[in-house]
Amino acid sequence: MKPRSHRHNSSADETKSAADSLLRVMFEQGKAQFGDAVKSFWFYEGELCPGCNLNPIGVVKFKGKESVAINGFMYRQRGVLIGYFLCGTCATHIHSEVQKHPFLRETPLHAEIERNLIAGYHKHLSSLNA
């Protein structure tokens, strides 16, 4: 039986590298603003969007251009900044809600995202003990 060849996806590698760099910047800004409350960072690498758990994470159309929706959530109980991408549907929904309600700080979707990120982080921690 021949071993499968794996294609190297340089575009995905470049996106992950850029996301890691941006998350490091976000982490440093968080440290500057909140001090020791920010202890570490972790990037959610699930295949599905942490907002809907249905759509794959991918490119988002924003102002006619292809973008990625990178975000950060501070998991205060652990002092961990969690970086994550959203699918186009969830990113568009949040963006439109904020446009309609400029002073809106959080939508119900944000609460769902936070629950899913925390669950993903705990799953990650459990995998380290396996």
- Segment 34-69, tens digit of pLDDT: 889 899 999 998 889 999 999 998 777 777 888 777
Residue 92 lies in a domain: yes
The share of the chain scoring above pLDDT 70, in percent, equals 87
pLDDT tens for residues 5-14? 333 445 556 6
- The C-alpha atoms of residue 16 and residue 89 are separated, in whole angstroms, by 21
Cβ neighbourhood burial of 54 (10 Å; 0-12, 13-18, 19+): exposed
Whether pLDDT at 114 is above 90: yes
Domain limits for position 98: 12-129
pTM of the model: 0.80
Residue 5 lies in a domain: no
Residue 75 lies in a domain: yes
Residue 56 lies in a domain: yes
**What tokens appear for 20 in the block?**
């890691």
- The C-alpha atoms of residue 86 and residue 71 are separated, in whole angstroms, by 8
Beta-sheet strands, E only, within the chain: 40-43, 60-62, 65-67, 69-75, 80-86
Average pLDDT score over residue span 86-114: 88
Confidence (pLDDT) at 6: 36
Average pLDDT score over residue span 96-108: 85
Which residue has better confidence, 85 or 14?
85
Residue 77 lies in a domain: yes
What's the domain count of the chain?
1
Confidence (pLDDT) at 8: 40
Residue 4 lies in a domain: no
How many CB atoms neighbour CB 47 within 10 A?
7
Q: Who contacts 80 (Cβ-Cβ below 8 Å, separation ≥6)?
A: 39, 40, 41, 42, 74, 121
- The C-alpha atoms of residue 28 and residue 34 are separated, in whole angstroms, by 10
